[in-house]
Amino acid sequence: MSFRVVPLHPKAMTVESILPSASKPVRVGEYLCLAVLGSGAMARVYLARPLAGGPPVALKLLHRRLGRDPGFVSMVLEEARLVGCLEHPCVARLQGVGAHAGRPFLVLDYIEGDSVESFVQLARSLGKRLPVPVALRVAVDALEGLDAAHGARDAEGVGLSLVHRDVKPGNLLAGVDGRVRVVDFGVARGRGPSLRAQRTRTGHALGTVAYMSPEQVAGRAVDARTDQWSLAVTLWECLSLRPLFEGATPMAVAAAIAEGAWERLEPRRGDLPRGLDAVLARALERDPARRYASAGELREALLGCAGEAVASARELAVFVAAMAAPRVAGERRALATAAMGFAGPLCRPRSRRPVQFADLRSPGPGGRPPERAAPAHEHAPDALDHGPGAVTARRATAGRGCRA
């Protein structure tokens, strides 16, 4: 898998379009929110720094219009309860919970990188395809995180029976550290009276229709195998760059899902591992009992058919660094601006020289400075179509091995 970096089309991406920023930082609890990382139906996620100092975090704050709705407030608290029981490198870690002006917020690990959805959209806009090894690595890491979530237990050792229910490209974050993490458990289902009450109150399916399983769109009971379906739909989209189930309205999409017919990928792409369609076909069985027994079993099936075609962590890191360069640069700029523009332990520079983006990055192994980042908003992978056969060439060029 080889990545040649070339200039982007000037209208394809800008720092401003990717990273909206407020006119000035806003204090939320003991944090200073510097820029908007993303926004959904329930909450907005900010890049934030603790006022007491420390590494940046992602702060998820419930929308103001929902702050007085006990149902939505309970959903945020339920997300905190469930994610607080998870400790896995492929799941974004919860650091704390707070409240601001009556609205709850979650403090989560900040992931320097971008969503898989952004990579799919950029590849589509450039008329390119995501490398198969990268798409497979996304699926393998996500399944590892989901398998850990499905088997999570509370402090008393009782299984949570957790189901994410909203697995999709937008809820998978790929970091410059070469790891994919599952995020946003806002509509997750788990064992516990608070969530059962919320489900009874809402009385409708929760999630994103295009990635829902047949049992979800039908309003039937779901278990961990529904996340398996959604992940298979996500992988199919990463490899084809179009939704698996489409329709003019959400009802039409739901009808297509209920019908269950889907197009095989291997006739469309000759660079896919043999047997991938068979793995997807089992994960996309309409009857949950015919799917894989667990996310871990689906992960092993993907690794079994793909073998060395799956990108290593370092190869994914190279890809993410190139694809997410404008976003990462914008976030580092926001952090640097905060460091230079505000008094106190949050941002007082140690010297008179201007703060550089590299100052805000963690040191490399053994305390060595990290490698220099690529220039912002100037680069993107041109070799998006390259498959696993180019991995060996890149390793030889780099002069060192790549290991997952």
Q: Kindly list the catalytic residues.
A: 166
* The pair of three-digit structure tokens given for residue 121, joined into one six-digit string: 């959209």
What is the C-alpha to C-alpha distance for residues 307 and 287, in angstroms, rounded to an integer?
Answer: 28
Closest alpha carbon to 279 in 294, 291, 262, 288: 291
Closest alpha carbon to 52 in 397, 345, 372: 345
Q: Which helix (H) or strand (E) holds 117?
A: helix 116-125
* Phi and psi angles of residue 228, each rounded to the nearest 5 degrees, phi first: -60, -45
CA angle 290, 295, 300 (to 5 degrees): 95
What is the C-alpha to C-alpha distance for residues 300 and 51, in angstroms, rounded to an integer?
Answer: 44
What is the C-alpha to C-alpha distance for residues 103 and 350, in angstroms, rounded to an integer?
Answer: 36
Residue 86 CA, chain-centre distance (Å), reads: 16
* The pair of three-digit structure tokens given for residue 162, joined into one six-digit string: 């957790």
Q: What is the number of other CB atoms lying within 10 angstroms of the CB of residue 59?
A: 29
- For the CA atoms of 295, 301, 302, 305, the dihedral, rounded to the nearest 10 degrees, stands at 180
Q: What is the number of other CB atoms lying within 10 angstroms of the CB of residue 317?
A: 19
Helix ranges, 203-312 (H)? 214-217, 225-240, 250-259, 276-283, 295-306
